[in-house]
Amino acid sequence: MQEISELVRVWTPRLLLFARQWTGSADDAVQEAFLNLYRLRTKPDDAVAWLFKATRNAAISGQRSGTRRKQRESTFALAAPNWFEPTGENRLDAETVTEKLWELPPELREVVIARLWGELTFEQIAATTETSTATAYRRYNEAIAALRRCLKIDES
């Protein structure tokens, strides 16, 4: 049997093209096939054919898993209450607030998401983002203030 490194060099582009028929994660499927080949105690007689079959199976399996995950996420999203409840005369919709949230710099946005959706404490956020608790708190307040400004919400 050819060395695995030679198989990787020669067959990876072809396997990627083959896997793209079934999944957007072709790289993962091909990598999984090569890892499984490496782990086999008894190598197949025809390694190339085996790799194509293993790649196909991994791609189809990955696509099914992705579809199931999306369905679960959609079901949960529909069942979950809105994270933003409009109040008062100047009612805002969640879509607008979410759009403005994604316009924040990543270091501010991650703190808001961790605090509001993840329900993390500022200590937990600090550990996650590898910052101090004071920095996590400051970023959260800065993000909320920025959202209020761009959404024209009175801070009183």
Q: Which domains does the chain possess?
A: 4-79 (1.10.1740), 94-151 (1.10.10.10)
pTM, full prediction? 0.47
Residue 30 burial (C-beta neighbours within 10 Å; 0-12, 13-18, 19+):
buried
Lowest mean pLDDT among 7-16, 57-66, 80-89, 97-106: 80-89
Residue 27 burial (C-beta neighbours within 10 Å; 0-12, 13-18, 19+):
middle
Say whether 34 sits in a helix, a strand or coil: helix
At 24-53, the pLDDT tens digits run 889 999 999 999 999 999 989 889 999 999
pLDDT at residue 130 greater than cutoff 80: yes
> What radius of gyration, in Å, describes the C-alpha atoms of the chain?
24
| Higher per-residue pLDDT: 78 or 61 | 61
CA pair distance 154, 70, nearest whole angstrom: 37
Which one, of 60, 54, 57, lies nearest residue 40 by Cα? Answer: 54
